[in-house]
């Protein structure tokens, strides 16, 4: 079945440093969504990307969808302690069937 | 307030003792599902329901049952829990089963089976 691989599994950064998590699929995706789960919380929707090469920004967060629609990334500029949590990508196959979640990247920020 | 509510939030139970985790959503969503979250494995779908009386297996359905008698409710049943079902469980809903819809998650239920 469809698989979505997410790396790294874990990252610990100093406050103010940048952070990036990557999501890769062996098959073309119709769309990809990103979710954030705060420690002790539940996943909350951040954004959806649907177009090849699409780039979207939310303040210090930049989301990209690859040209081939097989990979995506989330980049956080100048991390803050409020950024801690687990970031999940979720992708759907080319014909828009169900979303499959990556394993998530745990971000810890040292102040 | 739009929300997905699940209960109990925390539960310790013994092997073999049947339990039910309830889930209710107030957004009139057609699609509901259950996930379990385990370290390093992310969110894995257990069962899903496209609409009332329509349920189907997800990626890890063994040991679980569900029912969808009403649109708003989607309980998860563990007939004979085992220690490998110790996990964090999330109920979720979305407008329809399309992958284009946002998924709304409940607050999670921590289950420990001893």
Q: Is B95 on the interface with A (CB under 8 A)?
A: no
Residue A98, pLDDT score: 83
With CB atoms and an 8 Å threshold, state whether B99 touches A31.
Answer: yes
* Average of per-residue pLDDT across B72-77: 98
Residue B86, pLDDT score: 98
The C-alpha angle with vertex A103 and arms to B63 and A11, in degrees rounded to 5, equals 140
Residue B56's DSSP bridge partners are B48
Dihedral over Cα of A72, A70, B40, B44: its sign: positive
Q: Which residues of B touch A88 (CB under 8 A)?
A: 42-43
The per-residue pLDDT for range B22-52, each reduced to its tens digit, is 999 999 999 999 999 999 899 999 999 999 9
The span from the CA of A58 to the CA of A47, in Å, is 9
**In Å, how far is A57's CA from the nearest CA of chain B?**
18
A35 to chain B: closest CA residue: B103
Tell me the backbone φ, ψ of residue B76, rounded to 5 degrees.
Answer: -110, 125
Query: Beta strand A105-110 with A10-14: parallel, antiparallel or unpaired?
Result: parallel
Residue A96, pLDDT score: 61
Residues of chain A with pLDDT below 50 are: none
């Amino acid at each position: 079945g469809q698989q979505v691989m997410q790396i790294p599994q874990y990252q610990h950064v100093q406050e103010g440093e940048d952070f990036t998590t990557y999501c890769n699929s062996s098959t073309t995706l119709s769309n990809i969504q990103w979710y954030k789960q705060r420690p002790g919380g539940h996943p909350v929707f951040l954004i959806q990307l649907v177009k090849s090469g699409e780039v979207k920004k939310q303040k210090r967060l930049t989301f990209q969808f690859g040209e081939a629609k097989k990979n995506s990334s989330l980049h956080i500029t100048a991390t803050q302690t409020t950024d801690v949590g687990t970031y999940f990508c979720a992708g759907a196959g080319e014909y828009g069937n169900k979303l499959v979640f990556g394993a998530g990247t745990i971000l810890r920020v040292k102040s | 307030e739009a929300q997905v509510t699940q209960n109990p939030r925390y539960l310790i139970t013994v092997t073999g003792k049947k339990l039910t985790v309830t889930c209710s959503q107030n957004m009139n969503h057609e699609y509901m599902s259950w996930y379990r979250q385990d370290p390093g494995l992310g969110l894995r779908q257990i069962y899903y329901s496209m609409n009332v009386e329509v349920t189907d297996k997800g990626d890890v359905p063994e040991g679980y049952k569900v029912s969808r008698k009403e649109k708003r409710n989607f309980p998860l049943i563990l007939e004979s829990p085992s220690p490998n079902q110790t996990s964090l469980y999330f109920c979720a809903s979305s407008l329809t089963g399309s992958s284009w819809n946002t998924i709304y998650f409940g607050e999670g239920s921590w289950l420990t089976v001893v």
